[in-house]
Structure formats: structure tokens, C-alpha cells
Amino acid sequence: MADPSTCRPLTRASVFEARELIKGLVHHTPTLTNATLDRIASTPAPAPTESELGNCEGESRKKPANPTMRLYFKCENLQRIGAFKIRGAMHAIERLKMEPGWEEGGGREKGVATHSSGNHAQALALAAQTNGIPAHIIMPSISAPPKIAGTKGYGANVVFSGSTSVEREAVLNEVIEKTGARFVPPYDHPDIVLGQGTLGLELLEDAHDIIAAAAGVESNAVPAADRALRAPATTRTLPESKKSNPHLDAVLAPCGGGGMLSGVALSCEGTGVRVFGCEPSFEGADDAKRGYESGKRVERVSSLTVADGLRTPLGKVPWDIIYERRLVAGFYSVGEDEIIAALKLAYERFKLVIEPSAAVPLAVALFNEDFRSMVEREGGEDGWDVGIVFSGGNVSLSALGKLFA
């Protein structure tokens, strides 16, 4: 990995620089809307029964709120390798190639290495293949078969490990000692954070165009030549306030190691758009939420939540952005049943293939009464325009069959 001391500063300007560096190497994925999900999000959930209240998970089953929400989905499930991770991996490799002495010291021949449950694994494998660099990927043996197959398909040497971060790192150290490969972290490095943040810039610009068009006002967020990439305007009715200020009010993004969430937070810095992290609550997988609320980062997590991409603890670099700099406004968590319900809605009502981790922000918007009450209270009659990051779509059909059985 590039020496952190040589990295660009963690600022919004640096996210723009990262976007220029990886332009042409990643897709500008669409930002889509869905009237049915808007309606569901803007309808009070049925009041919980006594049985449900007695078996509730976390704090998500409270008095039903009645917010108004218009949702904008950033579809990174349509990204290369099926997830946002390619952004950080491509940016990391491009920055590594710029490091003085890397080529001369045999860096290209020694290659790169990482540990990942699947999406970063595939991303680094493809980024390495694109540049003719060997890649050694440590994957938990319980990783989703499509993610394993994808990683091998991009030419990587896959080495299996246990499922916890401690087990992954132990095998990774052995591989690095043997090969001399350079470690490219899945989330805890400035180059990864800045690369992931590029999706936030796209979401802000695309949503601005959609909102402005629906409000009947001119949009100058991006050059006219680029607007063919944007989603078509919707027919939704927007409040008068949006005519003078056509932008998102908030973004909901999933949080595992925090690389993407912190990158999105940087992309929104100074814009007035509030960013919230979303996690599963199962078996303590909401480590970022607990750390944020206690003021101390949780360094170890051991959870088998269905949202397999969110089983990792929050990294040090993301923690500084998220907590120390307060660029993330807060965290919300949801239970397993709520994640699966949101996943099912995305399939049946949106016709989009997403993985369980990607469904977590939608589950927060639909089911977390703390978040919904805040939108109702602060958004009033006008409501909020909320960006939802669909982080990836790598899930096997067999796994889906078990989830929905």
C-alpha cells in the first residue's frame, strides 16, 4: 500500500482528485428512484403486537412514525465486480504506481495482497489484473460462492482462512512474508477512503439533477455533456422549498470497516447534506454505532449477521473522519428480519439484485423508528430527500433461497 504520509489529504477536494484518477476505470452507476418504495417509506408501519414487542431486536420497534421521504438509490450493485469496492481498489493501485521506487524495487512482480469476505477481494483482483500485477487474496472459507468464483476468475491466488478478522490477518501475514506482496487494506487507508468517496460525488450530482428536473428548475450541477449518464427525471411532486434548493437532505450508507461511509462523508463535507451510517444489530455487528455513542472505537467484532459484508470492525482512518471530525451525523441499526424484508422489497418491487449488506440502509429508512421519527420531526410536511447507497449485488441464488424459504 502507498505510504500514508504520501497520500492526499482527507478532504472533499481530494475525492474530486480521486475521481479524475480512476475515470474510465470504474462505472458511473445510475441513481434511480422508485415510487412504490417512496410510498412505503412515507407510510407508518403497522403498530407492533405484544408478541413482537417482547421479541424485538435493538430499538427498531417503537411507536410508528409518519415521515415523508423521497428516496434516491445509488446503484453500486451495477458497478464493476458488482460492488463499490472497485473504486477504492483502483484508486489504491493507481496511487501505488505513483509511489517513488515501487516499480524499481520489484513491486509489480511481488504484487499485492489483502483479506476480504468477497467484494474487496474481487475488486483488488480486477484492479491487479488490469495492471498486470499478481494478487493474493485471503478469503473466509464461508464467503459467498459467487464472490470466491469472481475473485478466482480475475486471476487472483485465493487462500482461505477463518471468518474473523483475527484469523484473516494471521493468514495474510504469512502470505506477505512468503511473497513480499504489498498489503492493500479493504478499508483502513486514505487511498481506499478517497476512492470509495467518489460514489458520493456522483450521488449528490445525480440526485441534484433529478430533484431539479422534477421541481422544474435548471440544473448546473454537472456539465451538459455528462447528463446523458444521469437517470431520467421522475414525475414525483416536490415541495416549493426544493425549487430554490434542489439537493439531498441526507444519505444513508452501510458501514462495515467504514471506508465507504467515511468516503461518502468526505464527499458531502460542507454541502449541508447529513450522512448517517447503517448497521445490522445481530451479535454486536453494530460496533460503529456503539463506538460512536460511547466515544471509543470498538476494535473487535464477531458476528455472523446475514449482512456478511458488514461483519468487520470500524477502522482507524474511517473513525477519525466519522467520529473525531464528526462528518457522520449518527448511526442506526436494524435486525435480521428487517434486513431480509428490505431485501425482498428491492427484489419484488424494484427488480434490482442486491446483497443483504446493501439492503441495510433501505431497512433503516423503512423500519428504524428512531430515524423515521427524526425525519418526521425535522422534515415536517416537506419531508426529506434521502440518498440510499445500494453497495453491492454479489449474492448466490442458493443463499437467497435459504433467506426467503
CB contact at 8 A, 158 and 117: no
The Cβ of residue 284 has, within 10 Å, a number of other Cβ atoms equal to 16
Can you read off the three cell numbers belonging to residue 27?
462505472
**Catalytic site includes residue 85:** yes
Q: How many CB atoms lie within 10 A of CB 272?
A: 9
Q: Which of 42, 116, 117, 262 is catalytic?
A: 117
Q: Where are the alpha helices (DSSP H) in 216-335?
A: 241-244, 259-268, 287-294, 316-319
**Cell numbers that stand for 307 in this block:** 449482512
Q: Are 393 and 82 in contact (CB under 8 A)?
A: yes
Give me Rg for the CA atoms of the chain: 20
- The owner of cell 418504495 is 37
Residue 275: which of 108, 388, 145 has the closest Cα? Answer: 388
Q: Is 104 exposed, middle or buried (0-12, 13-18, 19+ CB in 10 A)?
A: exposed
Strands 69-75, 384-390: pairing is parallel
CA 178 to chain centre: 32
Catalytic residue among 85, 147, 242, 289: 85
Distance between CA atoms of residues 75 and 262, nearest Å: 18
DSSP conformation class of 23: B
Q: Let me know if 316 is a catalytic residue.
A: no
Just list the catalytic residues.
85, 117
